[in-house]
Amino acid sequence: MSYVAIQGKARLFAPALLLATLAACSGKDETTPAAAAGTAAPAPAAAPAEAPVSNKVQAMDTTQLRDSASTALRENRMYAPAGDNAMEYYLVLRDKLPDDASIRNALTDLQPYTLIAAEQALGREDFTEAQRLIALVEKVDPTAPALPRLKQGITSTMQVAEKRTVEEADKAKKDAENRAKQQVEQQRMAQQQAAEASAAQQLAAKQEAARKESERVEAERLAATRREAEQRSAAQAAAQVAAPKPAAAAPSLRAVSTPAPRYPADALRSGTSGEVLVELTIGTDGSVTDARVLRATPARVFDREALSAVRRWKFEPIASSVTTRRTLAFAPNK
């Protein structure tokens, strides 16, 4: 089974296992000193190496530490974040209760996950986090077999990172020098291209001037020819206007239906009379295709009704459309 798979399964069971261990041994904090009454207390163990345990965690009492450790396990905060994780809580608990086997077991169970996290931090070159986690492991067990390898890993990885940084800086310097050379070459090429472009522009300007001169001469010739043609056309048109033309006979209109306009109610009540001169166009089918008011007396009183009426008029079909005028009179009945 792969290392990552082991880590994933362990994360599922470790918090529950540690909580069960803590619950089974809860209440031993206060009874252990009493049980040892009358006997000489064992000499305290040698202080382990300094670990990154926050002052806030060290100031907690055992009840607070147990509650915080249980919460951290439920929330899968086994070794992180710094200052609020199960490892730190249990380390301080172990300092306060060195004879509690459940605390030692909890630290033993947490140690593999902290080691895994340290290796992962080392893999992503997060050296600060890796050193913090290694210090936690070292405080749990200064003789842990993985410690020398992890410490050596930090040293070698930092050396590799430093070497890579130097190499990247050298590469960046060389790239900058190459870019500077390229810029110089580009400037030289740009100057050469500018000189060639200037010569080409001068040649093009001369060619354009010659072309424009040729076009001017041709335009003057065409203008003279056009003026002569216009003069001939004007003479011909004048001759045609002078000759008499037979008058064209307007087609006769025979009305089929010419309904009278509706008398506006306001004008009828006030006894207002008037007339509207309408120009209307009749299509070949005898219908009115267009109508407009030419004159109205009084203005804008009978216009709408007059237009509405003539647009409904019908005439006999004719050969071609014709425009005529009609006057519609409006007078109240007396």
Domains of the chain (ranges; CATH) run 3-33+46-144 (no CATH), 255-330 (3.30.2420.10)
pLDDT of residue 163 exceeding 60, the answer is: yes
Question: Quick one: three-class SS letters along the chain?
Answer: CCHHHHHHHHHHHHHHHHHHHHHHCCCHHHHHHHHCCCCCCCCCCCCCCCCCCCHHHHCCCHHHHHHHHHHHHHCCCCCCCCCCCHHHHHHHHHHHCCCCHHHHHHHHHHHHHHHHHHHHHHHCCCHHHHHHHHHHHHHHCCCCCHHHHHHHHHHHHHHHHHHHHHHHHHHHHHHHHHHHHHHHHHHHHHHHHHHHHHHHHHHHHHHHHHHHHHHHHHHHHHHHHHHHHHHHHHHHHHHHHHCCCCCCCCCCCCEEECCCCCCCHHHHHHCCCEEEEEEEEECCCCEEEEEEEEEEECCCCCHHHHHHHHCCCEECCCCCCEEEEEEEEECCCC
Tell me: the pLDDT tens digits for 241-290? 454 444 445 578 999 999 999 999 999 999 999 999 999 999 999 999 99
pLDDT digits (tens, 9 = 90+) for 67-125: 999 999 999 999 999 999 999 999 999 999 999 999 999 999 999 999 999 999 999 99
Least reliable range by pLDDT among 47-56, 150-159, 208-217: 47-56
The pLDDT tens digits for 12-21 are 444 444 444 4
**pTM as predicted:** 0.40
